[in-house]
Amino acid sequence: LQQAVQEAVNRYVARNPRSAAAADDAARAMPGGNTRSSLFHRPFPLRMAQGAGCRLRDVDGHDYIDLLGEFTSGIAGHSPEPILTAIRDALADGINLSAHNMLEARLAAGLCARFPSIDLIRFANSGTEANLMALATARAFTGRHKVVVFENAYHGGLLAFGPGGLRVAVPHDYAILPYNDKDAAESYFARHGAEVAAVLVEPMLGAGGCVPGDPEFLSLLARLARHHEAILIFDEVQTSRLSAGGRQALLGMTPDMTTIGKYFGGGLAFGAFGGRADLMAQYDPRQAGALMHAGTFNNNTLAMAAGLAALEHVVTPDALDRINALGDAMRGSLNALFAEQGAPFHVTGLGSIMNIHPVPATGAEAGLLRDLIFFDLLERGFFIASRGLIALSVPIGPAEMSAFADAVRDILIARRGVL
């Protein structure tokens, strides 16, 4: 296995001289040539030159079907016409206007209409910022300090609770509980419920490996939060794409607050936090003593325009239903294929988001298996995350899906001796 991976890496290096040179160059001005940790993998990540629809071309001229979809945020695909037109129109009217514009309230209304848990909403520039603001909102409202989060949760670069995250996490009085563990949640609340300001939870661990939240676990959190008057915050930055109203609609749940981001900015930097009117009213500047939430680019015209176009024309309820059904079918057929071939992989996730995992899940062998499938897929023209994440986008159809299934089958057959 180790030798097979080394040979695949050698072919990758030989095939990608421009990406290799660009990575060396970048390391002169950025640590490890990197400004976004999740993009890094050894020996160096590719540089992409162009994207159109669900296709990418790298700087060495290779074409790929983009199954990564910008780590879930590229749901609209690369530069769809309605979003390009909206950005061009906004550009023509001037980038940012020292004032409110006529787009922000329309985007806010559209998002409130999609998520019944969001009575009122405010915009930010990233999902990280949206989650930081949601926590601040809960703390201010409750006057309490403790924040319940979960192992391997990812709520942004400054709110990451997996390996490597905690050392840069913004300091709060965290309780980091095991995900999907009802007993642990119950016993924590029995001891500390009265001190808890917020429970911040992803309805499916995203960066933590596409681990769906158990519906019973999530509704227990809602009951505990309600009973102890803590604020339940659903981080739906990824899972809001699982239906028009996010995973909360699928579960029939109404969290006190919801955070979103990614695709709702139409591909531009974006985040938003919203929820119950009484919580969000703390920011009403007409009230004496209103909480501060400033931000130069909170209503930046390009993101507002792109987000509105995405919401109205691209990330429509029908389009979401279609790619989620495609994803469910794909996960089913990949798992059937792995079982049929006796291959040491399995796929987790929900709808259009999934993660291929090696079996065993940790250790040196896991790393090699992850690398083998990643480099073999690249060589066959399929771009996924090196950690195995796949996020479907609207331009992807059955033809791309069956080409991908064929490629995976070819790989498993070709690698039978080493798997």
Q: Which residues bind ligand PLP (CB under 6 A)?
A: 71, 126-128, 131, 154-156, 202, 206-207, 235, 237-238, 261, 271
Closest by CA position to 55, among listed 45, 68, 42: 68
Measure CA of the first residue to CA of the last residue in the chain; give whole Å.
Answer: 7
Tell me how far, at minimum, the Cβ of 90 lies from ligand PLP, in Å. 21
Please, which residue, 80 or 271, has the CB nearer to ligand PLP? 271
Q: Do residues 69 and 78 make contact, with C-beta atoms less than 8 angstroms apart?
A: no
Measured between alpha carbons, how far is 128 from 260 in angstroms, rounded to an integer? Answer: 10
Other Cβ atoms less than 10 A from the Cβ of 201: the count is: 26
Closest by CA position to 75, among listed 202, 214, 243, 203: 243
Tell me how far, at minimum, the Cβ of 7 lies from ligand PLP, in Å. 33
Tell me how far, at minimum, the Cβ of 72 lies from ligand PLP, in Å. 7
Please, which residue, 239 or 301, has the CB nearer to ligand PLP? 239
Tell me how far, at minimum, the Cβ of 94 lies from ligand PLP, in Å. 26
**Strand partners of residue 347:** 356
Measured between alpha carbons, how far is 390 from 66 in angstroms, rounded to an integer? Answer: 9
Closest by CA position to 107, among listed 94, 118, 92: 118
Tell me how far, at minimum, the Cβ of 392 lies from ligand PLP, in Å. 16
Tell me how far, at minimum, the Cβ of 71 lies from ligand PLP, in Å. 6
Please, which residue, 132 or 369, has the CB nearer to ligand PLP? 132
The owner of tokens 């296995």 is 1
SS3 173: strand
Tell me how far, at minimum, the Cβ of 134 lies from ligand PLP, in Å. 10
Q: Specify the pairing of strand 257-261 against strand 231-235.
A: parallel
Output the residue with the shortest Cβ distance to ligand PLP: 127
SS3 70: helix
**Which whole-number Å values give the CA distances from 168 to 151, 158, 164, 331, 347, in the listed order?**
15, 6, 8, 34, 30
Tell me how far, at minimum, the Cβ of 110 lies from ligand PLP, in Å. 19
Please, which residue, 104 or 202, has the CB nearer to ligand PLP? 202
Residue 97, amino acid: L
Buried b (16+ CB within 10 A) or exposed e, 317-335: eebbebbbebbeebbebbb
Please, which residue, 4 or 390, has the CB nearer to ligand PLP? 390
Tell me how far, at minimum, the Cβ of 207 lies from ligand PLP, in Å. 6
Please, which residue, 19 or 72, has the CB nearer to ligand PLP? 72
Give 61's DSSP letter: S
Half-sphere exposure of 58 (CA within 13 A, CB side): 22
Tell me how far, at minimum, the Cβ of 271 lies from ligand PLP, in Å. 6
SS3 414: helix
Q: Do residues 173 and 135 make contact, with C-beta atoms less than 8 angstroms apart?
A: no
Please, which residue, 271 or 372, has the CB nearer to ligand PLP? 271
Other Cβ atoms less than 10 A from the Cβ of 90: the count is: 22
